Structure 1
Amino acid sequence: MPDVPEVPTPAWRTARKPARAPRRPPVTAEAIVDAALDIVDTEGLEALSMRGVAQRLGTGAATLYAHVQNKEELVELVLDRVNGEVRLPEPDPDRWREQLRESARQIRDVYAAHNDLAKAGFGKVPTLPNSLTAIEGMLTLLKAGDLPDKVASWAADLLALYTTSAAFEQGLLRLEEKRNPGATAEYFRQLGEFFHALPPERFPTLTGMLASMVEGDNDERFDFGVDVITLGLRAYADRMRAEEGTE
C-alpha cells in the first residue's frame, strides 16, 4: 500500500500542543496534617489512616512517610494542631476562678468541634510546641490562684482529664448527629420515658431525684464540675499549708 502523504498545517493555524496534566501542589507536612484533620472533622478519628490521607492528597502512602513516620506520629501532629487553637488568657489573680472556668470550657469546645479527636489524647503526654504552650498557659493560670507547685501540677492533669472527657462525650454526640440527624434527641427522649416508667417502690431515691438529674444545660453542668474542682483545689492547698505550717 503506498504511503499517504502528510497534509501540511496552514500558516494561519497554530498546531495544538498536547495538554499537560495539571501540576499537583507539593506534599508537605502541613498539607498532610490538614488532610488528616479534615478526615477527623468529617468522618471521625476511626476513619483516619495513612492511605486515606494519601488519597485526599492525590498521592501514594509512601510519599507521606517522607514527612511522617507513622499514623501515631500523624495523630500527635493533629492533636498539636488542635491545641494551637486554644487561646488561654493572661492570668489575673482577681479573676482566677472565672478565668479557669472560661479556659476549661474553651478547651472542651475546641476538642468537641473535632468530633471524637479527644480520645487520641488519653494516655499520652504532649511534647510538641502548641501542646507545650497550652500546658504552660494552664500551669501559669493555676499558679495565679496561689496554689503550691504540687497542687497546681496535679490540678493540670485533673483538669485535662475532665475537659477532654467532656469533649469526647460531646464530640461523640456531635458525630452521631452528623451520621443520623435527630438520633440523639430521640435517644434522650426514650431515655426520659424509661426513667419515668421506673417503679418508685423499687427505686425511691432515683425516681425522687429525676427532676434534678436532668436540670441544667450542658454548659451549666460542665461549669459545676470546674467549680467543684476549683473550690477543692483551694481547700486542698489551705490544708496542705496548714499541715506543713506554711500558712
Structure 2
Amino acid sequence: MSSPQRRRDARHASGEPAAPPKAPLSAERITSAALALVAEEGYDALTMRSLATRLGTGPASLYAHVVNKADLDELLIGRLCRDVLLPTPEPNRWREQITDVCVQLRDRYLAYPGISRAALAIDVTDLDVLRVNEGMLAILIGAGIAPQTAAWAIDALFLYVGAYAMDVAAAQGGGGDSRHHGSRQRADLIARFENLPSDRFPQIRAHARALTSGTEHERFSFTLDLLLRGLPDSSAQAAPSPTA
C-alpha cells in the first residue's frame, strides 16, 4: 500500500484539485453567515440548525462560540449597530441628529427582513449596541434634555424603529395587511373604505384617501418628528413661566 505522501503526490500529478481548507469557526464568521442567511431567506429561516448547515458543520460546533440563539441575536444586532455613524452632538441640531441615527438603524433592519424581532427581544449588553445608546444619550442630554427623559425617549425610538421594520418585512413577505402598499393596492383599499356602510363608518368613508396616503418612509419620518417634538430642548426648559 502506498504511503499518504505518495497518494497525495499522485493526486497532484493527475491534476485533481485539493479541497480548500475550511475557515475555522468563530463568533465573527458565525455572525456573518447568519446575516447572509437572513438577507436571503428572512429571519424566520434562521435557526442554529440551518446556520450550521450553511457553515457545513453541526449545531453542536456553534455552541463553542455562541451561547444560544439569544446570544446570536445580540451578536447580529451588534454587528448592524457597529457601522452606525454617530455625530458629534450639536444642541441646535439634536432632532436632525437623532433622526439620522434612527434612519440608519431602520435601513439596516430593512436589509435583513424580520431581524428587528431580534432587536426587540434582546437584553442589551453588546458593546456595539451600547455604543449607539451612548451616542443617542450624548445628543439628547447635550440638548438639555433630562437624563431619564432622554433614556425613555431612546427606548421609545428603538421600539418604533423595530416595529416599523417588522411591519415592512411582513408586508413585503405577504404576511398580512399593512399600511405600506403600492398604488394599485391603495386604490383597492380606498374603494373598500368608500363602500363601507355610511351609518357605521362615516369618517373612514369620507377620509379614505387621507387614511391611505403617504409612502412607508413618509409615515416613518412623520412619526419620528411627532415623537421628537414632544421632547423639550434646553431653550424650552429655560423659558420663563407665564405670569399669573
In structure 1, the residue matched to 2:29 is 31
CA contact under 8 A between 1:51 and 1:61: conserved in structure 2? yes
Q: 1-side partners of 2:64 and 2:128: how far apart?
A: 22
CA contact under 8 A between 1:80 and 1:130: conserved in structure 2? yes
1:72 aligns with 2:66: no
Q: Which has the larger radius of gyration?
A: 1
In structure 1, the residue matched to 2:4 is none
2:192 to 170, 191, 194: 194
Equivalent residue pairs, number = 223
In structure 2, the residue matched to 1:62 is 60
In structure 1, the residue matched to 2:109 is 111
Deviation at 1:188, TM superposition (A): 4.5
1:69–1:240 distance in 2 versus 1, CA, 3 Å? farther
RMSD between aligned alpha carbons? 2.7
TM-score by length of 1: 0.80
In structure 1, the residue matched to 2:221 is 223
TM-score by length of 2: 0.81
Moved more, 216-225 or 146-155: 216-225
Which segments of 5 or more consecutive residues in structure 2 lack a partner in the other structure?
1-8, 176-180
Q: 2-side partners of 1:17 and 1:97: how far apart?
A: 66
1:234–1:62 distance in 2 versus 1, CA, 3 Å? same
Which segments of 5 or more consecutive residues in structure 1 lack a partner in the other structure?
1-14, 178-183
Name the aligned partner's letter for residue 122 of structure 2: K
1:84–1:175 distance in 2 versus 1, CA, 3 Å? farther
2:11 to 13, 17, 34: 17
1:239–1:141 distance in 2 versus 1, CA, 3 Å? closer
In structure 1, the residue matched to 2:38 is 40
Name the aligned partner's letter for residue 69 of structure 1: V
CA contact under 8 A between 1:83 and 1:131: conserved in structure 2? yes
2:212 to 211, 214, 228: 214
Q: 2-side partners of 1:242 and 1:119: how far apart?
A: 44
1:78–1:224 distance in 2 versus 1, CA, 3 Å? same
Deviation at 1:189, TM superposition (A): 4.7
Q: 2-side partners of 1:90 and 1:205: how far apart?
A: 46
1:122 aligns with 2:120: yes
Q: 1:104-160 CA deviation, whole Å, 9 max, x = no partner?
A: 222212212211110112243311111011111111111132101121111111111
In structure 2, the residue matched to 1:4 is none
Name the aligned partner's letter for residue 221 of structure 2: D
1:115-154 counterparts in 2 under 5 A? Answer: 115-154=113-152
Classify the secondary structure of the residue corresponding to 2:190. Answer: helix
Deviation at 1:36, TM superposition (A): 0.9
Q: 2-side partners of 1:93 and 1:27: how far apart?
A: 45
CA contact under 8 A between 1:93 and 1:144: conserved in structure 2? yes
Q: 2-side partners of 1:167 and 1:240: how far apart?
A: 36
In structure 2, the residue matched to 1:10 is none
1:242–1:164 distance in 2 versus 1, CA, 3 Å? farther
Sequence identity percentage: 36
Q: 2-side partners of 1:54 and 1:139: how far apart?
A: 38
Q: 1-side partners of 2:222 and 2:37: how far apart?
A: 33
Deviation at 1:49, TM superposition (A): 1.1
In structure 1, the residue matched to 2:156 is 158
